Amino acid sequence: MNLSETKPAIASDALVHRTELLLSKLLAVGVVVSIVLIVVGVVWHLIVIGPNGDPRTTTIGRQICLSGLIVLVGTPIFRVLVSGVAFAVARDWVYVIFSAIVLAVLLGSILLGQAHG
């Protein structure tokens, strides 16, 4: 066995490992940020509305909660995008196509849901 034959496999394994670490950190950060935003929005809402408050004055709290939900939904979409880029760097075109299809389905479902919602 020639040593030069094993180098691409080792480089590929290192790339896969780095990509998996990046994606796991991305998912963890996305979930934590979304939870923090949702909790801050709920607390803001409860503080502003108080016992006799007007619910119309809690727009900021609702917007913060909405931001948390957008981050929560956007995290797996960004993960698919990063995966597609990583597959392209690795020149694994079959998985680039799969990632593009998954990304198109996710974005299409959001756009369709927005149009009918």
Per residue in 34-57, pLDDT tens?
A: 999 999 998 888 887 765 666 666
Residue 30: is its pLDDT beyond 90? Answer: yes
Are the CB atoms for 34 and 68 separated by under 8 Å? yes
Question: pTM of the full predicted structure?
Answer: 0.72
CA distance 66 to 17: 34
Q: 3-state DSSP: the chain helix, strand, coil percent, rounded to 5?
A: 90, 0, 10
Average pLDDT of the chain, as a whole number = 83
CA distance 97 to 5: 27
Using CA atoms, how far residue 114 sits from 43, 64, 91, 98, in Å, is 27, 19, 34, 24
Residue 13: is its pLDDT beyond 90? Answer: no
